[in-house]
Structure 1
C-alpha cells in the first residue's frame, strides 16, 4: 500500500504516489479504460488525484469525476489547477484574473462532481495580473468552501515568497508547488526547495520518470519505440525531446545495474529517488494501463541508502540539468492564448 506525507506546513496528508491524468484522460486513453485505471489506483491505496481544467480542454476533469463519483468523498484528495486557456479561449478564458479564477473553479467543480477540491493550484505564474488580485480571489474561493488549500505550479523562489506572504495576510494557506523534478531535471534544488522549506511549502513533482526516459525503454542509437510518448504530440512529445539526447540515453542505461542491485525496476528507482527529497510530498504518476500503476506504487516507502544515491549521481554525471535559472523560464511572460 501507499504511504502518506503531510502537504506543506499543514495537517493535510496525501498519498506520496499521486495519480495525475495530464496526458491520458480525455485524449490518449478511452474513457472506460481511464476509469478502470483510476479504480485500480484506489485498490492500490492511492487516494490523491491531480488534474487541471486545461487537460484535454476540460475533458480530463470530467473523466476523473465520473471515475470517482461512487467513492466516499471524504476519503479522497482531489486537486485541480487554473491558468491555461480553456473553452472557446476568449480574452478572459486564461490567466489568474479574478474573473478567470471564479469562472474556472465553478466549472471544475461541476465537471469533477464535487462541492470542493482539496487543493486549488495556480498552474503557472501570471505576469499580467497583479498577484494581490490572484490571491484575493483564491482567498474568496477558500472562504466560499470551494477549495480547502491553495497551491501553485512551477513558481520561482521569489514568487513563492511573495505568494506565501500574501496568503498569510489573507488568512489562507499556500502549501504546495508542483514543479518538474527527476534524476535528470533537478533545477528546483538550488533555490525553490530551500525557499519552500523555509516557507512550509511542499513539492508535488511531475514527470519523476523524465517523460518515461528513466524507464530505460529509449535506447541510444535506436529509433524511439512505436506508440511511445515520444511519437505522440498529444502525450507531450515536445516535453521529452530534451531528454532524447544520445549522451542522456547512454547514461540512463548505466542505472540498470543500480536498480537491479536495489531490487527495483527502473521506474521504481526513478520514483523512489524523488521521494528521498524530504521537501517532496508526492510523486505524480500517470498510467494508460492498471499494471503500470501496480509497478509504480512499489516505490512508496523505499529508502535508498547513501551508496545508491551516490551511484546514481555518478551514472548520470554530465547529463543532469540543475541550473536554478531554468526555474525562471517556465511561466510565460505573457498569457497563453
Structure 2
C-alpha cells in the first residue's frame, strides 16, 4: 500500500480505501462484511469510508463492529452527514446545526470511537445558511469529535465559499468526495482546478463504476448471479443506467489494455483515477474478500501515457465530462 496526504494537511491516508456504501447492512451481511474489512486491513488499507445514511445507519454499526479491537491510531475513519436517517422526521436531514450535532454523536456511538478522522457534508444544503453549517463543523473540530472536515459533490463555487468560511473559523476544509472514474470525469473541468488552488483533495467514489469496469457485465448477456446488478436491496438501482450494450462492448475492449499493463480490469480502473494527482484516495468496495484484495493491489501502479491515450480512444464519447453535472447532485430541497 502507498499513502497520500489529504489536502493541504499533514494527514496521510491509504491511496486505496474501503467503503461500504451499498454493501454493509444491505448487500452483505455482518459476518461477510467483517471478512471483507479484514481483507482490506491485510492488504494494507487503513482508510475506511462510510455514512450515517448507508442502510439507514446499519453500515456504520457494522463497520464499527468489524474494526473493533484494531489500534484506533492506525486507522483513518471517515463518515458523512446530510441525508435522512432514523424515522426521517423534519429535522432528521440536512446540514442544520441541530442535525449535524445530533448526527456526529450517533455516528461516533455506532462506529465505537471517540472521533472520526474526517467528517463530511454528504451534499450541499441549499436550505441552511452555509455559515450555520460551517460554524457547527468548527465546533465539532474544537470538541475533538472530528479531526478534519470535508464535503461531497460540491461545485467549485461551493468549495470556494466553504473554504473561505472554514479559514475564517479556524479549521481546515481538506477534501471533496465526488464520483470519478474513466467513464465519469465531470470534476476535471472546474472542481479539480479549484481544489488544487485551495488545497483540497478528492476522495473519489465509484472508481470502478459500480463494478461495470471490471468487465464482468457482458453485452447481450444477463448480469452474473450475485452481482450488484441483481441486488434486490437497492444496489441494482445505481448500476442499471450503465448496462447498455454499446458501452459494455467498449469496456470489453479494455481487457487487453489491462493485460498489457499486468493488471486486472478493476485494477486498471483504480489505477486510472490515481493518475490524477488531486486524488488522495480511491474508495473501493467489494462484497467478497478477493474483490477487496484485487482492488487494493492497484496501489502504486503507474499507467503509461500510451495506455491512458488508448483508454481515451476506446471510450470516446461514452465519457461523461459536463461540469454542470456536479450541481445536479445536491437536492434543491431536503424533501426532494
CA contact (8 A) 2:47 2:77 kept: yes
Q: How far apart in 1 are the matches of 2:103 and 2:188?
A: 32
Name the counterpart of 2:182: 183
Corresponding residue of 1:200:
199
| Distance in 2 separating the partners of 1:59 and 1:239 | 19
Deviates more, 1:120-129 or 1:30-39: 30-39
Q: Secondary structure at the match of 1:79?
A: strand
Deviations 1:188-231 (A, max 9, x none): 11111111011100001100011111000111122222222112
Point out the more displaced range, 93-102 or 216-225: 216-225
Superposition deviation, residue 234 in structure 1: 2.5
Number of equivalences = 336
Distance 2:69 2:155 in 1: 38
Task: Write out aligned runs for 1:226-241 (5 A).
Answer: 226-241=225-240
Are 1:253 and 2:252 counterparts? yes
CA distance in structure 2 between the aligned counterparts of 1:293 and 1:18, rounded to whole angstroms: 10
Preserved CA contact (<8 Å) 1:276 1:303: yes
Contact map agreement 1:187 1:321 (CA 8 A) in 2 = yes
**Helix, strand or coil: the match of 2:77?**
strand
1:269-308, aligned counterparts within 5 Å? 269-308=268-307
**1:311 and 2:316 equivalent?**
no
CA contact under 8 A between 1:51 and 1:81: conserved in structure 2?
Answer: yes
* Counterpart in the other structure of 1:97: 96
**Cα separation, 2, equivalents of 1:51 and 1:305:** 32
3-state SS, counterpart of residue 92 of structure 2: coil
Q: Which residue of 2 aligns with 1:335?
A: 334
The runs of 4+ residues in structure 1 deviating greater than 4 Å are none
* Distance of 1:43 and 1:81 partners within structure 2: 25
1:300, distance to aligned residue in structure 2 (A): 0.3
- Please give the alpha-carbon distance, in whole angstroms, between the structure 1 residues aligned to 2:261 and 2:95: 44
> 1:325 — aligned with what?
324
Q: Which residue of 2 aligns with 1:137?
A: 136
Shift of 1:39: 1.4
Distance 2:138 2:46 in 1: 25
Tell me the equivalent position of 2:264: 265
Q: What 5-or-longer segments of structure 2 have no aligned partner?
A: none
232-241 or 201-210, larger mean C-alpha shift: 232-241
User: How far did 1:288 drift?
Assistant: 1.1
Whether the 8 Å CA contact 1:85–1:336 is kept in 2: the answer is no
Distance in 2 of aligned mates of 1:167 and 1:47: 27
Secondary structure, aligned partner of 2:60: helix
TM-score, length basis structure 2: 0.98
Aligned residue number for residue 30 of structure 1: 29
> Against the structure 1 CA distance between its residues 108 and 198, is the aligned structure 2 distance closer, same or farther, given a 3 Å change threshold?
same
1:128 matched to which residue of 2? 127
TM value normalised by structure 1:
0.98
Corresponding position of 1:225: 224
> Residue by residue, what CA displacement relative to the aligned partner does 1:118-139 show, whole Å, maximum 9, x if unpaired?
0000000000001100000000
Contact 1:84 1:336 in 2 (8 A): no
Q: Is the 8 A contact 2:27 2:235 kept in 1?
A: no
Q: Answer with 227-236 or 103-112: which moved more.
A: 227-236
Equivalent in the alignment of 2:60: 61
SS at match of 1:80: strand
Task: Report the alpha carbon displacement of residue 235 of structure 1 after superposing the two structures with TM.
Answer: 4.5
SS in 1 for 2:154: coil
The CA distance in 2 between the partners of 1:40 and 1:235, in whole Å, is: 24
Aligned residue for 1:316, secondary structure, equals helix
Distance between the aligned counterparts of 1:324 and 1:125, measured in 2?
A: 16
Question: What value does the CA root-mean-square deviation take over the aligned residues?
Answer: 1.0
| 1:215 and 2:214 aligned | yes
